[in-house]
Amino acid sequence: MIARTIATVALAGAAVLVPSAAFAADTYPDAGDSLTCDASQVDVTNTVGCTVGAADGSKVALQVTTAGEDASIAGTVTSAAKTVSGNVASFTITAPSSTGTMGITAIIDGEAVDTASIEVVSSASTTTGDELSGTGFENVGLAAGAGVLLVAGAATVFVAARRRAAAN
């Protein structure tokens, strides 16, 4: 009986400590180190705004990589560094004159911390304002299955408690 109790306590302790071990390693960037862009799709030669969140006084830059089958300038360009004020630095990026994907990397104090990509499209292929993008949860069946298991478990506990109460 005591051996089972000790084993249960050890297992519960391991279950609690293992996930917290991930926080011991300092491999994640600071929560404030982030990159946000206004859009995920932009028309050719139009601009898009991006904001880098970082600690005040940090030096930040954006590195933009462009590609495309007919891009006149394809490659990587790094912006001039800006000093963060108010925990944010804002950048405006002009899309190239050809379609493709722009990869954007936020560089804070010389270290790449976050990335984003923006699709550059021609005006003929952009969506109109009347259409909404497809959003939502794709695993509705998984959520329904979890709900069924939750209800079945609760019913099992309820029935077992009633039987035990009737037996006593």
CATH topology of domain 34-120: Immunoglobulin-like (2.60.40)
The rounded mean pLDDT for the chain is 81
So where are the chain's domains?
34-120
pLDDT for the residue 7: 80
pTM over 0.85: no
Residue 136 has pLDDT above 60, yes or no: yes
Residue 50 has pLDDT above 80, yes or no: yes
For every residue of the chain, DSSP letters joined together read -HHHHHHHHHHHHHHHHHHHHHHHS--SPPTT-EEEES-SEEETT-EEEEEEE--TT-EEEEEEEE--TT-SS-EEEEPPPEE-BTTEEEEEEEPPSS-EEEEEEEEETTEEEEEEEEEEE-TTTSPPTTPPPP-S-S-HHHHHHHHHHHHHHHHHHHHHHHHHHHH-
